[in-house]
Structure 1
Amino acid sequence: MSKADHVAVSAFGLMDCGRGVRGVLYGICFTLLFLWATLGYFLVYIQYLPPDPTDDYCGITAFLCLWLSVFAFVDNPGEKRTRIQRWEEFITMWVLTSGLAQVFWELPFVLWKVRYLQPIKSTKTLEVDELWAWPFWMYGSGDTRYMRQHSSSHATETMLVLSGPFELAAVAMFKARRHYKTALLISALTHWGFFWANTSVIYIAEIYDNYENIADGWAGYWVKWAGLNLQWSVLSPICTFASLWLLCGKVREETRFEMSLKGD
């Protein structure tokens, strides 16, 4: 068997991402997030909607939609996928979701925090000349470390932002069916870092500080602080171990193939 034949019969890299009902579910989640980031933002900016409680509804929507990668385990009627294909799709969708969040959400936070976000006066509402910052105030009004001087949080977010382009590169590799092992290694390493940083700095540090940086009542605690970070403390370690499992499986498959060639 040639190497080309081996690639053709490999059990890895055969996912059909977003097929059928899964594509519909992914589309609904991404569309809702996009609408809040564009139409919702616009309606707040022109003062058609108030900053609060619109931010709470936006946060609840984002919390639900950020779990979209679990739809990777939903099979279409009559569809038969392997366990490998399901986990490959989960990893791809979660790494894509996280990568987009780092590049389009966290990056502006990191770049604008000191100069533009820290001067915002209140966590309860926004002045007219502050409405431009509503997408960031939406979260920062609950977890005030994002809008106030907090060097450890700022440093952690800076490191997480740097992982975003690597995540999107890994997704491109998965979709192109090239550099499969490299994409898995990127997924494993970045998301172990996400899990470690998110759980320690976002959650444990704030618990040690007796929640002194949490504002905005129940929404600030349950939706913004607890809810909008939970995915990186739950899905990211799962992503890491799933990526390592697939990586080991791929290496074993290639090793068996190489041994079979030597045997021939």
Structure 2
Amino acid sequence: MTTALEHDFARPWAKRRVRTYAWCAAFTTTIAVGSIIGVGVGLIPMVPATGTIACFLFMTPVFIMFITSWIDTPGEARTKLEKANEFQMLWFCIAGAASELWWEVIWLVGDLMGKMHITQGQRWGWVIWYYGINDVRYLNSDGALWAMELAVVTGAAILLYSWSKLRKAGNDPDKRIRPLWWTFFTMAVMLTVFFIYFIAEARHGFPNFPRHGFWDVSIVLIYENLPWMIAPIVSLPFVAKQLGYLYGRKALEADRASTRAGAVRGTGTPVSTRG
């Protein structure tokens, strides 16, 4: 039994890519925090255009990071599975810490408390309001939407936990397999929720999406949600391939151990049962 190609999932990320990730994260954070504070204190107008522009600015770095993760630096020769692993690790962190576990949690708790009926005069609620005027369920309190968001937030917490485990797992199949299975099932569930979110609306002609302007639809509803569709679709087959590779590694190691034990027995040398 042989392994055709070895993959090093513990390989340090190239410094050039890490710098790109850091700059993108810093830019996105600055735009997100700056726009919230700017609107809150009255420096930036609380109008739909503000949300559209801010949305474009803080989502674009996410796509830059996605693309960067697949590009080797000069002299580097990663396998496709190693590139996919870096892409996935980025996504698990983005989906968890950088999105669902702050925006969605704020909305879930606020909606439960009846505080999400935000109007244009409530400037500090802008980060919810700008999306809510495009999907009014976020401002009107919708039970089905709340359940979907709860499922997504739970999934994000699982992805972030799995990310922390995979960071420490190195190339050990036993340490990687379980968190990878959790990410696989979690992404499958989150992708299903994502499609339910849009298909349920499409079935009745998007009654909760009152703003049908080009920028409202293309940027706020599509561009902002694209990573949550693209990343799982790209990641799922590669997680499956990585699992297949790791199970193959385990079988190969077991086969080698069995062969060594057989060779020792064949020489008549006693096999020690002590460590």
TM-score norm. by structure 2 comes to 0.84
| Structure 1 segment 165-204 matched on structure 2, within 5 A | 165-177=157-169, 179-201=175-197, 203-204=198-199
Deviations, residues 179-228 of structure 1 (Å, cap 9, x unaligned):
21122112111111111110122x11111121221134333211121222
**How many residues are treated as equivalent by the alignment?**
248
Q: Which residue of 1 aligns with 2:103?
A: 105
Give the Cα separation in 1 of the matches to 2:233 and 2:8. Answer: 21
Change (3 A) 1:236 1:75: same
Give the Cα separation in 2 of the matches to 1:225 and 1:209. Answer: 17
Q: Which residue of 1 aligns with 2:29?
A: 34
Indicate the SS of the match to 2:11.
coil
Change (3 A) 1:251 1:237: same
Aligned partner (choices 76, 81, 84) of residue 73 of structure 2: 76
Asked if residue 92 in structure 1 is aligned to residue 89 in structure 2, the reply is yes
Aligned partner (choices 55, 58, 72) of residue 54 of structure 2: 58
| Structure 1 segment 238-249 matched on structure 2, within 5 A | 238-249=234-245
Give the Cα separation in 2 of the matches to 1:261 and 1:236. Answer: 37
Give the Cα separation in 1 of the matches to 2:133 and 2:11. Answer: 40
Amino acid at match of 2:60: L
- Ranges in structure 1 where 5+ consecutive residues have no aligned partner: 1-9
For the 8 Å contact 1:170–1:183, the answer to whether it is kept is: yes
Computing the radius of gyration from Cα coordinates, the structure with the larger value is 2
- Ranges in structure 2 where 5+ consecutive residues have no aligned partner: 1-5, 261-275
Q: Which residue of 1 aligns with 2:270?
A: none
Give the C-alpha shift of residue 162 in structure 1. 1.1
Give the Cα separation in 1 of the matches to 2:180 and 2:15. Answer: 25
Give the Cα separation in 1 of the matches to 2:68 and 2:111. Answer: 34
Indicate the SS of the match to 1:73.
coil
Give the Cα separation in 2 of the matches to 1:66 and 1:141. Answer: 24
Deviations, residues 30-77 of structure 1 (Å, cap 9, x unaligned):
112211222221111110111222211111123323332332101112
Change (3 A) 1:80 1:66: same
Give the Cα separation in 1 of the matches to 2:90 and 2:226. Answer: 17
Asked if residue 254 in structure 1 is aligned to residue 246 in structure 2, the reply is no
Give the C-alpha shift of residue 93 in structure 1. 0.5
Amino acid at match of 2:205: N
Q: Which residue of 2 aligns with 1:20?
A: 15
Give the Cα separation in 1 of the matches to 2:27 and 2:40. Answer: 18
Amino acid at match of 1:85: E
Aligned partner (choices 147, 168, 183) of residue 155 of structure 1: 147
Give the Cα separation in 2 of the matches to 1:25 and 1:50. Answer: 31
Amino acid at match of 1:91: Q
Give the Cα separation in 1 of the matches to 2:253 and 2:181. Answer: 21
Give the Cα separation in 1 of the matches to 2:23 and 2:181. Answer: 29
Q: Which residue of 2 aligns with 1:219?
A: 215
Give the Cα separation in 1 of the matches to 2:252 and 2:80. Answer: 20
For the 8 Å contact 1:63–1:228, the answer to whether it is kept is: yes
Indicate the SS of the match to 2:209.
coil
Flag the structure with higher helix content: 1
Identity of aligned residues (%): 17
Give the C-alpha shift of residue 114 in structure 1. 4.4
Deviations, residues 153-202 of structure 1 (Å, cap 9, x unaligned):
1110011111222111111112212621122112111111111110122x
Give the C-alpha shift of residue 11 in structure 1. 2.9
Indicate the SS of the match to 2:43.
coil
Amino acid at match of 2:221: W
Indicate the SS of the match to 1:194.
helix
Q: Which residue of 2 aligns with 1:209?
A: 204
TM-score norm. by structure 1 comes to 0.87
Amino acid at match of 2:113: R
